[in-house]
Structure 1
């Protein structure tokens, strides 16, 4: 599917959407497997690229937004994580009281952290899940490494980048 005209979605301008050829799909899958070794994508999957603007594009796999490239940084899309799980990604579970502020755009604060899965460094991408149902609610950037996060009790620990029902969620 190729969109040649510009369509508007809120403040975001959609400029182009196209399906990758077999050769381009193979190259992209090899590149993604190096970056995300546990990412399970079939070689027969239909992969589309959605260019939003110069600094933002979305990879759509089998009609589900899978990855977002923003300013040359790859982020998993929450729709893909909800469908395929968070296997292979570091995660942080937050308590029930932190969920609503996070969904409204707040960063994760240390007192709300209840569990940490996997190890990560400062500035790594981390998946935030609710402690009760263990469903992903946010993709964020760690402001401290996983070891330090376990020991601190105050301050911001994860920057909010993408949450359920934000502009990135609604764009596709």
Structure 2
């Protein structure tokens, strides 16, 4: 269900210039406003920021040999599972009901009945196309 990257899948990695690093930090800050107070801790300005390019047009943002964010084809930056476990409050959360859990863990998409029935939690103020955690 979850993909692990190996060194064979990394096609190249570059330490980015300060201007590119500022742009990446700004994009992440814009996408995750709740992350703003923690951004200096996660992406220190003095630490080298490395962008690793992987197969299937996936880019990894790596700081101190730890992948923190990824994006696909210059899309929005998404936090890695490691970062989500470390900072669980950085994304909006939805909760599915008990009946949907086994299907979601098997890789199914989350449908509206799993969020709106008893036991589910759907925040209707979340904008469309905003990544959320379930």
TM bucket by the smaller chain?
A: 0.5 to 0.7
The Cα of 1:93 is off from its aligned counterpart by 0.9
Higher relative contact order (CA 8 A, sep 6+): 2
Q: Structure 2: where are the runs of 5+ without partners? A: 1-6
Partner SS for 1:123: coil
Residues 41 and 115 of structure 1: CA distance in aligned 2, closer, same or farther (over 3 Å): same
1:73 equivalent among 51, 62, 75: 75
Q: Residue in 2 aligned with 1:57?
A: 59
CA gap of 1:122–1:23, structure 2 versus 1, over 3 A, is closer
Query: Alpha-carbon deviation of 1:19?
Result: 3.5
Give unpaired runs (5+ residues) of structure 1. Answer: 1-6, 129-172
Give the aligned partner of residue 100 of structure 1: 102
Shift of 1:117: 4.3
> Is 1:115 paired with 2:121?
yes
Name the counterpart of 1:85: 88
CA distance in 2, matches of 1:72, 1:109: 27
Q: Is the 8 A contact 1:18 1:48 kept in 2?
A: yes
What's the offset of the Cα at 1:107? 0.5
The answer to which structure has the higher strand fraction is 1
1:33 lines up with 2:29 in the alignment:
yes
Structure in which a larger fraction of residues adopt helix: 2
CA RMSD of aligned residues (A): 2.7
TM-score, scaled to structure 2:
0.68
Query: 2 CA distance for matches of 1:37 and 1:118?
Result: 18
1:52 Cα offset (Å):
0.7
Q: Distance in 1 between matches of 2:64 and 2:88?
A: 16
Structure 1 residue 108, shift from structure 2 partner: 0.8
Query: Offset of 1:98 from its aligned partner?
Result: 2.2
TM-score by length of 1: 0.55
